[in-house]
Amino acid sequence: MSYLFTSESVSEGHPDKVADQISDALLDNFLAFDPESKVACETLVTTGQVVLAGEVKSDTYVDVQAIARDVINKIGYTKGEYQFSGDSCGVISLIHEQSQDINQGVDRDSKEEQGAGDQGMMFGYATNETENYMPLALDISHKILIELAKLRREDDAITYLRPDAKSQVTIEYSDDNVPQRIDAIVISTQHDPFNEDDDAMLAQIKKDLIEILIPRVKEQLPQYAQDLFNKDITYHINPTGKFVIGGPHGDTGLTGRKIIVDTYGGKGAHGGGAFSGKDPSKVDRSAAYASRHIAKNLVAAGLATEVLVQVSYAIGVVKPTSILVNTYGTSKVNLTDGEISKKVAEIFDMRPAAIESRLKLRNPIYSETAAYGHMGRTPRKEKLVFNSPYNGTVEKEVELFTWEKLDHVEEVKNAFDL
């Protein structure tokens, strides 16, 4: 019997994502001026206020208030009627120095012997149901909100959009796990109060999103995904009605509260650790990226059609306590998952310092990850400029989303005789 599977996404203007983007912008600025910075920054946003907290060990100093305000303005919270604006909000910093008890387990005389910044388990996942090896429902959910943000900034085809939004896509699958059709799409978008008649206003929003937004999203998809759109899709557009009050004024936002949106939309598994605001010595982040890198390369190499990778660590210990590869019974080689796991551990060095080096994680690359998912993105090089009243200007060429590179496919094929 067929079944339904659902994933959701949230926009860059969602309060939790505002918090994530501020935390990662702080991290990037610390890393730009001191690549060895140890950072764990948390952000809370609410009506007219931003609270920054966390621990930092760094040889540099950054203007955290200016950085937070710049992020908020870039997202689009620039008007007084939003009750949250980068130019007028209060910014309180409670950031202090990292505990020496933690730091002594991470920093070592030899970089290669760097210990894990915390205990825990991390997961990476990949599936061949999309070109970027991501779950399809999540991929479409992200694309809906990316395109909605473009429409908001264009301020032409749809002129009333505000920054806060959420999307959700439900797909019907066959018994053999093949997508058959899109069953439902949910979109809630914050908007200006452009009509005194709430019913007429909601009808206009629904019409615009179905007739303008959805075709633009559909055009970006390969033909097999376009074919899943059908006349019987159930659309829930702003199902509660008017959505004028939103953003941090409507709901308090916190760093790390959208970990499923950030990863695989409910497919695979999640160890529970958030990403944003954490430097790569925190394996919650770096090992999750490395696990995705492994899973994607295994699927791309043809080892299996679906792969979940789990890795675990003890705080201050160099080598992972476990590495597991689960192929969900889709393996194309005559090996057990346990045997596959042992070979994978030989190919990919999962010591924290090795992960940092292999994926070039000691660079200011994280702001780009803080909205629309950390996984499934396109790796690329980019020149970034950072300005500081204390340190001057630094320009860096960095590689973004290195964990999405298919740079180990041939090695995997050779190791497994594929």
The binding site for Mg(2+) consists of 16
Residues annotated in the binding site for L-methionine, as ranges?
55, 98, 251, 282
Binding residue numbers for ATP: 14, 164-166, 242-243, 251, 257-258, 274, 278
Which residues line the annotated binding site for K(+)? 42
Give yes or no for a contact between 309 and 291, defined as CB atoms under 8 angstroms apart. yes
- Annotated binding site: which residue ranges? 14, 16, 42, 55, 98, 164-166, 242-243, 251, 257-258, 274, 278, 282
The encoded tokens of residue 384 equal 């970034």
Cα-based distances in Å from 77 to 28, 84, 87, 244:
21, 6, 9, 13
> What residues does 90 pair with on adjacent strands?
49
Q: ∠ at Cα 150 (21, 29), nearest 5°?
A: 25
Buried b (16+ CB within 10 A) or exposed e, 301-311: bebbbbbbbbb
Q: Which residues pair with 38 in a beta bridge?
A: 57
SS3 content of the chain, % helix, strand, coil (to 5): 35, 25, 40
| DSSP one-letter code for 103 | H
- By the 10 Å C-beta count (0-12 exposed, 13-18 middle, 19+ buried), 381 is classed as exposed
**Listed residue (9, 88, 4) closest to 48, CA to CA:** 88
In angstroms, the Cα distances linking 398 to 51, 212, 286, 363, 371 are 29, 35, 17, 7, 19
Closest alpha carbon to 91 in 114, 71, 61: 71
Give the DSSP letter string of 124-138. Answer: EEEETTSTTSS-HHH
Please give the sequence-ordered ranges of beta strands (E in DSSP) within 13-59, or none if there are none: 38-46, 49-57
First-to-final CA distance of the chain: 33
How far out from the chain centre does Cα 4 lie?
Answer: 24
C-alpha closest to that of 370 among 277, 249, 291: 277
Distance separating alpha carbons of residues 373 and 263, to the nearest angstrom: 6
